[in-house]
Structures are given as structure tokens and as C-alpha cells.
Amino acid sequence: MRFFCARCCNFGSEMPAVQVLLLACLVWDVGARTAQLRKANDRSGRCQYTFSVASPNESSCPEQSQAMSVIHNLQKDSSTQRLDLEATKARLSSLESLLHHQLTLDRAARPQETQEGLQRELGTLRRERDQLETQTRELETAYSNLLRDKSVLEEEKKRLRQENENLARRLESSSQEVARLRRGQCPQIRDTARDVPPGSREVSTWNLDTLAFQELKSELTEVPASRILKESPSGHLRSREGDNGCGELVWVGEPLTLRTAETITGKYGVWMRDPKPAYPYTQETTWRIDTVGTDVRQVFEYDLISQFMQGYPSKVHILPRALESTGAVVYSGSLYFQGAESRTVVRYELNTETVKAEKEIPGAGYHGQFPYSWGGYTDIDLAVDESGLWVIYSTNEAKGAIVLSKLNPENLELEQTWETNIRKQSVANAFIICGTLYTVSSYSSADAAVNFAYDTGTGISKTLTIPFKNRYKYSSMIDYNPLEKKLFAWDNLNMVTYDIKLSKM
């Protein structure tokens, strides 16, 4: 329907505002272009809505009966829509009730099963907690026992050391007393042959009644030449001290396993004996470091080889700073090691448990820049031979080739340096014998080889093919002990030694 004239329609408060709005929308929808809706109080104070629409086509307004017809139609449509809305609301309420009922049924059907599963999980967690608490208590008890045993052993060690010193003093005093008594009891020898008549004998002037009399007897015994050589604690022959026995490496024997680490922290590590022992240490004193971990500080000390083989340390050192890699050595009573994540070499005196010197190796790679082929942050590797202390490393200037430096063992100053043509990351490990650097081809191959040698005396390197056995297929440390003439190695949890043969110079 379209209005044919501009007209104002006034509705009292009896007509709902919704109907007025519906009427406005309907009129607008049927073609009106301008419309106004106004709400105001009339003179009597009642609310009055005024809606004005200008007809685009009609010049005059239709009869009032036609307008009322439109209004009645609008009211009828509004009632129909209200009924539809109420029906829709009723359907939504019904659906919500059905959904709530279904959810209630689902919850009622599964609570027992869910509760049982939760109870099982709770029981499992409680059992695991109890087991962990039990293990913690057992570990704490074991640790306390170890600390107590350690204290007892250290006290026993001090007591035995004091007894040894007392015995040594008493022995020295007794020796002096015996010598004095011998001098007092020995008769003056004189030539009496001419004074003894024929057929008679001279009476001995020895006083046989004194308790200090001792019969002295001398024997001449034939001893094989091999017995003159000292035996090492492991029962193998060792060269005499003072005889460096230098030569070129020509043979490496089969590995002899002395000890196996108990836990994964011993997957790789370093163990050694001092080739130049200083008091109170001996040729048997052994040190061991498990190097798996990020804060390696423990150094296990064993007074006897039997203690080392059985796993009973006599002392545990706690280093003042963490070490890195498997390149540590013991020389002349001090432990030399690379400080963690640095190019610094540290000298730690074992007897006094103090750091005596620290020195940065100029330009040396560290923490994975130039390691051996097996990795393990083995950028800086310390070594000992007949002439003293060495350090094996590489630099950016050397482009990854092995660099050797001779170190002063007191202050760690570099005394002399050599640059080789052997790429450090292409070899598994290295050691020094009689001033010559030797490298091993593989850390994991069962049948590896000593494949290169560099002579610091001539500056010449050469290739070698000396068989080398990695019995456990993960050699992380190989060092030479010039006193025992052996190679010490750490092969996949196992601490082993190799006999070697050197050609004569």
C-alpha cells in the first residue's frame, strides 16, 4: 500500500510502541523515502507517538478507513509473529531439557568407571612416591655410611702413617746401635801365625757369651739380568729409573682391563699414575676422574693398585673449579687439567689441595672448536713423556692442525711450540713418547691403528700402520706413562693398559 499524500498519524499510549515501529518499517518498505517518528507528551501528559511519511506519488490522503485497515493488518501480523516466537521459545526449552537429561544420563552411566580409573592412577602414583622415598632414604643412609667409612679410613691412614714414621725412626736408631755394637765386639786382627807353635791352634778372641754377637755370612748368588729390572705394580717389567729407554714406537700390545666403571658417569673419563711421584705419593698411587657431566670436580685417589681395582678410594678431592674433557694428567705431585669452558690450564697440587698456577693457552680452541674425532670437548689434551709436560691443541691460525707446546710444570709458561700438518679432528686421540707425537686413527673401530708420528726433534711427520685394539669400541682417553712404559686408556667404561715396544734410538 502506498500513501498518496503527506500525512501525520498520531497514536496514543493505547497503541504499543512495537506496533508503531512495525508500522513505520512497513511503510518504509513499501516505498517511502522520507519518514519521521516523534515521541512527546500531549497537553494532558500522556505519551504520544507521531509518525510522518511523505507519499512519493499521491497528492492527497486516502480515507481514514483505509489507514485503519492497514493498522489492523499490522496488528494481526504482529500477533502471528508473537505466536510464532512463543512456539519457537517452547521448542528451544524442550530441546534444552532433553539435552540436560541426556547429559545427566551420560554422567550417571560413567562415574563408576571414571572413579575406578582415577583410584588406580592415584594408587600407582602413591606407590611410586613411596618407592622414591625409600630409595632416597637408602641413598642417604649409604652416603652417610660412606662418609663415616671415609673418616675412619682417613684416621686409620694417619695412624698407619705415623706408625710407619715411628718404625722408620726406630729402625734407623737400631741400625746405628747395631753398628756401634759390631765395632765394639770385633777383635783386632793381628798376624800370629809365627807365634803359634806347630800342632797347636789359636784360640778365638770372639766373645761368644755376649747376646750382641752375630754371625755374619756372605753369599754369592747368580741372578739373571732380567731380575735387575724393577717390576711394575701390575707385575710387568719396568725400566730402571734414570734410564729413559727412548726410541720409536714399533708395537702396541693387547689391552689389559684393570677396572670397569659402575655407572654411566664413567662412560668416558681419565685415569693416571704419576711418572714422577712426590711425597706422600708413590708409584702405585692412582687417580681417576669420571668426566660425564656438566660440573666435573671429583677426583678419586687410591693409595694402592689393589684399592683401585676393587673400587675403594682412599680419598676424594673436590676441585675448586670444574674441569673439562679427558685431557688431565698427574705429574710431580700435581694434577694438570683444562678449566671448563675455557682455554685455561690449571695446576692443582694434590697434597695441599690448592691451585698453584693457571695459564691461558694463547689462541687455543676450546669447548668443541677443535676436538678429537670422538668429540667430548677434547680441544686441549695434556700429556707427559720422558722430558716433561706437554699440551696438545689447535688454533684458528693453524686451521685445525695439531699444535704442540712444551710447558713449564711450575708456572705453566710455554717454553716451545711446534705446528704439525696433522688435522686434529681427523684423529681419535694422541699421546707423546720421547718427544714424538703419535695419533690413533679411530676411537670406535676394534682394529684401529697408530697412524701418524711427528718428531719434534726434526719437525718431520710420517704415516704409520701400527695395530691398535679398541676392545670396547669407545676409547675416549689414551696417555703414555714414561715410568711404566705403558699406554693408559679409557675405553667405554673400562680402564685398560697397553704394553708397548720402542726401537733403540
pLDDT of 181-193, one tens digit each? 666 654 443 444 4
Of the candidate ranges 209-213, 410-414, 490-494, the one whose mean pLDDT is the lowest = 209-213
What does the CA dihedral 188, 194, 197, 203 come to, rounded to 10 degrees? 10
Mean pLDDT confidence for 113-135: 82
- Sorted by where each begins, the domain ranges of the chain are 76-105+114-155, 249-502
pLDDT of 244-283, one tens digit each? 689 999 999 999 999 999 888 889 999 999 999 999 999 9
Strand partners, 499: 486
The rounded mean pLDDT for the chain is 80
The CA distances from residue 301 to 285, 311, 368, 394, 400, in Å, are: 7, 10, 29, 31, 35
How far, in Å, CA of 57 to CA of 275, rounded? 122
Confidence class of residue 214 from pLDDT cuts 50, 70 and 90? very low
Residue 287 has a pLDDT of 97
Q: How far apart are the first and last CA of the chain?
A: 127
In this structure, whether the domain defined by 249-502 belongs to CATH 2.40.128.630 is answered with yes
* Upstream peptide bond of 255 is cis (omega within 30 degrees of 0): no
The per-residue DSSP string of 445-498 comes to -SEEEEEEEEETTTTEEEEEEEEEE-TTS-EEEEEEETTTTEEEEEETTEEEEE
Kindly tell me if the per-residue pLDDT of 200 is higher than 70.
no
Residue 67 has a pLDDT of 63
* 242 φ/ψ sector (left φ>0, alpha ψ -120 to 50, else beta): left
Please state whether the predicted TM-score (pTM) of the whole model is above 0.75: no
SS3 185: helix
Locus of grid cell 519521521: 36
Residue 426: DSSP 8-state:
G
Residue 176, C-alpha cell as written in the block: 746405628
Comparing 34 with 368, which gets the higher pLDDT?
368
pLDDT of 291-325, one tens digit each? 998 899 999 999 999 999 999 999 999 999 999 99
Residue 17 has a pLDDT of 55
Mean pLDDT confidence for 429-436: 97
Confidence class of residue 143 from pLDDT cuts 50, 70 and 90? confident
Confidence class of residue 395 from pLDDT cuts 50, 70 and 90? very high
How far, in Å, CA of 246 to CA of 249, rounded? 9
How many CB atoms within 10 Å of residue 306? Answer: 11
